[in-house]
Structure 1
Amino acid sequence: MRFPEFSGEWEEHTLSEYLEFKNGLNPDAKRIGSGLPFISVMDILSEGVINYDNIRGKVNATEKEIECFGVKDGDLLFQRSSETLEDVGRANVYMDNRTAIYGGFVIRGRKIGNYDPLFFKYLLATPLARKRTCRMGAGAQHFNIGQEGLSKISLYFPSIEEQRKIAEFLSLIDERIATQNKIIEDLKKLKSAISKQAFAQKPNGWNRLDTLFSKGKAGGTPTSTNKEYYNGEIPFLSINDITKQGKYVRYTENHLSRSGLENSSAWVVPEYSLIISMYASVGLVTINEVPITTSQAMFAMQLRDKDLLDYLYYYLSYFKYRHIHKYLETGTQSNINADIVRGIMIPTYGHSRNMKIASTLQGIDAKIDNELSVLKLFNRQKNYLLSQMFI
């Protein structure tokens, strides 16, 4: 796909024809925290371009270090090392006239050729560029890419005029994505504020959580070395499933077999039960829309009154961020236990008020879900254009 005013083949060039590479500064810890902006991997991976004001870190640097490790407008910054091959060599562009410094886990590509900086950033994110970059990554525990590897990567470049046109077009989509992210962020802040206001009010009374469910207990994990216990038809919930899906879990990545269920303390949790994590991501809450099993790290509850399901979900979500730290048991990792879960005190404001609180927060959640769907659409459009506009 091309803009109609452009024609002709894109030309293949190595990155070394446009960039001169250099590793970054490795200062001692005492110099970090004040001084000039100090670009790290986190800045490379952040949304949007890098500029002077959005760099997270700072470092005290000498004049000689500023000369050697400074970045200028249009320089590219690459991630040197990653725990996953997919992230090695990720790149971003510095677009600011003010001087910043880049760190030792970063490789600078100093601009020596004629290119549009924003176009170059988009080009380096295309499937072809990522494939060729990952091919240069090597390592055991970490995947690394060096100056030599980056220099050898070859990509296709159009004329500078077409570069600018593509960059301008894609930046408009990025601006819309940024706006959409802000909408979602503001809705989440609104939800948090309303939740805090609602549950900070003096309740009519309190109930222990275990008086509100007819059955509640932790799950179990079959012996991991027995393959016959896994990859069956019974959904087996993980923290990752909750993180990905949020309030309602509809599917799981992992499954147990019937023999796995029978040879462990796992149990089938009926649909529309309340599940809370006791170990990793302590206090994370979800509602299962399908019958499900869990590990011993989660506590599942069948409620006596299903009308309380949403209210309890929102209160326990509030409890996670406002109160759960008071109950954490510190060992190799912080956690809570089943007795702590059973004893959580739940405020009641009367049935109609409880339902109104839940309904209000549900309405905001529905709006957030809708805006997230719009965001996914914009990201799909951008990814499609990245794959189609670059030869």
Structure 2
Amino acid sequence: MKNKTVPEIRYKNIEDEWNLIKLSNLMNFSNGINAPKESYGRGRKMISVMDILSEERIEYKKIRNSVEVKESIESKNKVENGDLIFVRSSEVRNEVGWAKAYLQEQYALHSGFTIRGKKQNEYDAKFIECSLNYRNRYQIESKAGGSTRYNVGQEILKNVEIYIPSLKEQLLISTLIQNIENKINLHQQELDALKQTKQGFLQKMFPEKGMTIPEIRFPEFHEQWELKTLGEVLDSIYNGQTPSRNRKDFWNGNINWLSSGELNRGVVKTTIEKITEIGQRNANLKIVPQNTFVIAITGLEAAGTRGNCAILGMETTLNQSCMALFPKKNLLDTTFLFQWYRKVGENYGLKFTQGTKQQSYNAEIIKKLEICLPSVEEQVKIGEFFKQLDEVIEMKEKELEALKETKKGFLQKMFV
């Protein structure tokens, strides 16, 4: 039988059991500052809920808000190295009571929507943060009260019980977690830089409106680009529909069925829902082949949908909110079309859709959209360039996700 007072994974030669302790034995709790509105925007940096919920550690220079208060108020609300700071109130249950260690030498203040845990005993603040936010999160979340907003008070936090090892083991564990977090932050920065680089190329490798030559170009190409409509360079377009939801025999089959919400501006490799052959036949749905370019055509009033598109990484049927575009092979390259739409899709979705409440495209609107084109040879080279950049970004995203899963695994298995 497993001993529940020690974690599943430990460092070698450490065998002591962990001790159960209330947070009130480690820290004292107090609510933060509520000042007149004219006091904000100047003075000492003040930790807010957004700083606590950020995935990044709290750094004094990056704290968003500031407040100027009397010295007596400031002295009572200092957040210093080794203190913990908690979300006191939130509209979302899984945010309330979230903890963040403060590890800066320069002290900060904290807002009225937060609770400070002032260090009174020996512990490693990062270790306590991880224990509270993951292994012992249920203790706080289950006790959060409220209807429209969820709240935790000082009494709830005082009575939270956690298992802690020796300070030496706390430091070993927190150092490991922080090293993984450092790698995660580095990978995130590299990923953000790659995406920014790609966005820059998208802006400069396609001509601006009214221009026929892009700012950046492969050296072997010199001809001007030609302005066309999609109707001139598309062989056909197609959008699907939804089989009857009242027929259970139409659903949960083996045929992919794609909705616009799954268009990820990348390569779609699977679908959430699948239909049966009977459902496909009844709705008269075509199987759209792999490597086809698909765009969202309804719900474009929403920023999260407008401009959505994808290349199919598998064959699939479509619902009525998706439209597949099939280029004329001698005039338009699919990958080039995809990259071009990633640049202009959001802007086109604002300008050329129709409808009152719900903004949509139809076939006639799509055919009238303008596209500036180089030769097919140049299109292919541009498309391949962005495809390779996308592959590097995808690889970096997978590495980042693997690091996050590694951290998650340690948080589950190195805490009690």
After superposition, the C-alpha distances for 1:186-214 in whole angstroms (9 at most, x for unaligned) are 21122112222211334520222233333
How far apart in 1 are the matches of 2:148 and 2:250?
Answer: 28
Q: How many residues align?
A: 386
- Higher mean displacement: 173-182 or 197-206: 197-206
Greater gyration radius = 2
Q: Does 1:300 align with 2:308?
A: no
The question of whether the paired residues in 1 share the 8 Å contact of 2:226 and 2:374 is answered with yes
The question of whether the paired residues in 2 share the 8 Å contact of 1:222 and 1:229 is answered with no
- Higher mean displacement: 371-380 or 132-141: 132-141
Q: Specify every segment of 5 or more residues in structure 2 that has no aligned partner in the other structure, as ranges.
A: 1-8, 208-212, 215-223
The question of whether the paired residues in 2 share the 8 Å contact of 1:221 and 1:265 is answered with no
| Equivalent residue number for residue 174 of structure 2 | 167
Q: 1:90 aligns with which of 90, 98, 109?
A: 98
**Aligned pairs (5 A) from 1:113-262:** 113-126=121-134, 128-200=135-207, 201-202=213-214, 203-220=224-241, 226=246, 228=248, 231-233=251-253, 234-238=255-259, 240-243=261-264, 246-255=265-274
Q: Does 1:288 align with 2:312?
A: yes
1:197 to 1:260, Cα distance in 2 relative to 1, 3 A? same
Q: 2:56 aligns with which of 12, 27, 48?
A: 48
Amino acid at match of 1:207: K
Amino acid at match of 2:181: D
The question of whether the paired residues in 1 share the 8 Å contact of 2:250 and 2:276 is answered with yes
Root-mean-square deviation over aligned CA pairs = 3.3
After superposition, the C-alpha distances for 1:85-134 in whole angstroms (9 at most, x for unaligned) are 444432212222333332333222222222112222222233x2123333
1:152 to 1:318, Cα distance in 2 relative to 1, 3 A? same
1:357 to 1:165, Cα distance in 2 relative to 1, 3 A? same
| Equivalent residue number for residue 20 of structure 1 | 28
1:298 to 1:97, Cα distance in 2 relative to 1, 3 A? same
1:74 to 1:297, Cα distance in 2 relative to 1, 3 A? farther
How far apart in 2 are the matches of 1:110 and 1:230?
Answer: 60
How far apart in 1 are the matches of 2:118 and 2:235?
Answer: 66
Q: Specify every segment of 5 or more residues in structure 1 that has no aligned partner in the other structure, as ranges.
A: none
After superposition, the C-alpha distances for 1:170-198 in whole angstroms (9 at most, x for unaligned) are 21121111111111112112211222221
The question of whether the paired residues in 2 share the 8 Å contact of 1:229 and 1:261 is answered with no
| Equivalent residue number for residue 275 of structure 1 | 294
| Equivalent residue number for residue 37 of structure 1 | 45
1:310 to 1:116, Cα distance in 2 relative to 1, 3 A? same
Amino acid at match of 1:120: I
| Equivalent residue number for residue 377 of structure 1 | 402
**Aligned pairs (5 A) from 1:1-12:** 1-12=9-20
| Equivalent residue number for residue 221 of structure 2 | none
| Equivalent residue number for residue 109 of structure 2 | 101
How far apart in 2 are the matches of 1:230 and 1:69?
Answer: 62
With normalisation by structure 2, the TM-score equals 0.80
Amino acid at match of 2:165: P
Sequence identity percentage: 27
How far apart in 2 are the matches of 1:341 and 1:332?
Answer: 20
1:311 to 1:148, Cα distance in 2 relative to 1, 3 A? same
Q: Does 1:310 align with 2:329?
A: no
How far apart in 2 are the matches of 1:155 and 1:292?
Answer: 50
> Comparing both structures, which one devotes a greater share of its residues to helix?
1
How much does 1:258 deviate?
7.0
Q: Does 1:337 align with 2:337?
A: no
How far apart in 2 are the matches of 1:292 and 1:390?
Answer: 44
Amino acid at match of 1:92: K
The question of whether the paired residues in 2 share the 8 Å contact of 1:78 and 1:89 is answered with yes
